[in-house]
Chains A and B, each alone.
Chain A
């Protein structure tokens, strides 16, 4: 009897140990003292920036390439911006501001004059001047380049050392902000000649930081560039970025103090981090949002009524509440409310009755379609919610979970399914957004579907440089493309959240949702 008891206890012991471990840990996260004090807000009251110190950052992925013309992912920017200053810079609200070009003017619709900053050098000592700009833009438009944003520049004329003239093929209102993207990242012409194919391993730009060590997919080490043109900047002496693809790993590293800053935290984990009084969260609703891409050349979406039924049959507020714990907002248009190009009054009504009527009008019975979605926990739950909501109005959705590359290939290239639930990552300039989402010749519009009216509005917006007039045009385009044609189905905006310890100051999230690390300074 005694031995039986011993055996029983012996078998139970490890389980008990495990249970204690779990209990011990969960009590930690629930013991947060003042949950609200750690959240956002402090941006303006962070004091005067201090020079010196270093930071370690956990980031989701390595750059696909450190040569801007070879870089292909939207998540590369935060790792490239420290090395490469751009011709034009941007504010957190995504309005252009002086970068390596101090000022600019459009002399006519198709001519842009850039006045370059003086006294700027690349990290290898090469002077930044008109010839360097010409070299770079021609390189960006060469066959080796993967950047399509500047194809509209026909030629670059160097007027003098500090002035260049860009001649455009057609007028292009997105050009300025395109020059703040990868297309505007200036690399040292000397370094290109010196390193050739190996440039991506030895990147040289004119940004605030030099890349001094790089373990691909492991660690990226930056050091301040001592001859940086802007007096007093950068604040930090050194910046180390550690690549941690798993979100829990990033959070653990932050909590245990191995990193000072963890980027890209999803809504589910924001709740958990809010209760930790040592951690500061900063977030923003960026121009990126979750949406369903449709292919209007495939049934059932070749029928406009079905597209519109899907548009009105989805309860976006329920997704915000159910999936994202109330964080973020329904996507009623293709831009977030605070953005200058947005129409804050536009609304996509959730109206199941209207949706059912639209399905009746379509003349089709037993409507069903296949929808590809990313096989990532949050997307899977989102797709299941949509399936459920559309079932209510009488549409059967077959879900096809896929990993990112496979999903992208299947929907955009092979066109194996008429719908794809994913994220639209947004662009610096609204012109690029409407062009890519709604124009028939866009790669992201596999059905090549648009209307004459929408196309002509997009062209008109391209040749309009006044911001107010542009905003009006984007409102009109969004209304036509979404409410009348339902070329795509916006779902919800999710906040982009960065988490950091209390020593990290000066970080400002921007509407791109892509971190600019070089404004950071460290307290103490």
Chain B
């Protein structure tokens, strides 16, 4: 039964990948502004423009270009950057490890922060802690992450000098520097996630805590924190898992801004620079990898769902 469910989810992925890549591919080529002109820059002449357009295959219809690209992509060849000549897969995968570390750090902050606020708020309902938690739940969603990032940099880097304002060290190179460097970007990125998880977990916990079986547990003399952790949380986590799945995609998208603010050489920054330069081969690679990542995460979410609640069938 579970295997059948798994197989069906897997089959959905194929048309999904096909359609999303086609859309993305066309959109990238439809971005106004000629990549050839961006490439030639100050040296553009009409002859060079025509020659280069042909060299890059940009004189072909978009659908032909798409199938050419798809054919190569399926064989693992994403082409070369039209600017630097660097292999796209090399560039993307070296950036991926950076962005992955950032997103995971932000995820940890979101989940830990979100659970902390939600549980405190349920444990002390209508207390000042509840209001603080609910306030952060609104604030985290309302504050733009780049603005939060600037405030954090102003205060913790420039004023107090505790952590660096820019840059990134990989966890493999130096775990302490990694933590110092990742703190502010991860908080700026994770604020939104913390807020979302707080709100979802709080409301679903509230519902669960009023359920009959929790009342039964109380009547058997179970302590309040035990009721929350042992009885409430497991059942209240279901909507949170969905939120985490969606959050991953959101965070991946938000790296575009945060990586630029903190000068972190990750996928988001690569995406921004590729768009500005009209480096469409690089951009296609970046977007493809992002799409695949999101699809994989959604797939995992679905499976976790089924494991958490065996009653679920699709």
Contact = CB atoms under 8 A, between A and B. Distances in A.
Nearest to A13: B132
A37 interface: no
B49 A244 contact: no
Interface in A1-55: 6-7, 9-11, 13-14, 18, 21-22, 24-25, 28
Interface stretch (B37-45, B104-112, B219-227, B248-256): B37-45
A41 B290 CA distance: 50
B265 A245 contact: no
B85 A413 contact: no
B41 A253 contact: no
Contact of B128 (A10, A21, A404): A10
B85 A7 contact: no
Nearest to A200: B85
A13 B91 CA distance: 45
Interface in A38-93: 58, 61-62, 64-67, 70, 72-74
Contact of A25 (B85, B159, B165): B159
A454 interface: no
Nearest to A8: B131
A11 B135 contact: yes
A147 to B, nearest CB: 6
Interface in B227-273: 260-263, 265, 269-270, 272-273
A253 B37 contact: no
B161 A256 contact: yes
Interface in A385-443: 402-410, 412-413, 425, 443
Contact of B46 (A198, A200, A443): A443
A395 to B, nearest CB: 27
A155 interface: no
A443 B40 CA distance: 12
B42 to A, nearest CB: 5
A405 B37 contact: yes
A210 interface: no
Given A72-B41, A406-B33, A14 B136 contact: yes
A299 interface: no
Nearest to B81: A216
A1 to B, nearest CB: 15
B153 A146 contact: no
B128 A217 contact: no
Contacts of A146: 39-41, 43, 48
Interface in B40-59: 40-46, 48-49, 51
B159 to A, nearest CB: 5
A217 B39 contact: no
B33 A403 contact: yes
A72 B151 contact: no
Nearest to B143: A18
Interface residues of B, number: 55
Contacts of A407: 33
Contact of B263 (A10, A148, A249): A249
Contacts of B81: 216
A143 B55 CA distance: 11
B165 A64 contact: no
B32 interface: yes
A467 interface: no
B158 interface: yes
A226 B41 CA distance: 34
A197 interface: yes
B46 A72 contact: no
A258 B153 CA distance: 13
Contacts of A256: 157-158, 161, 164-166
B263 A72 contact: no
A67 B83 CA distance: 10
Interface string B259-297: 011110100011011001110000000000000000000
Nearest to B87: A201
A472 to B, nearest CB: 28
B86 A216 contact: yes
A74 B49 CA distance: 18
B84 A413 contact: no
Contacts of A406: 32-33
Interface of B: 32-35, 37-46, 48-49, 51, 81, 83-86, 91, 94, 128, 131-132, 135-136, 139, 150-151, 153-155, 157-159, 161, 164-167, 260-263, 265, 269-270, 272-273, 276-278
Q: Which 6 A-B pairs have the closest CB atoms?
A: A218-B265, A72-B41, A405-B33, A406-B33, A252-B165, A10-B131
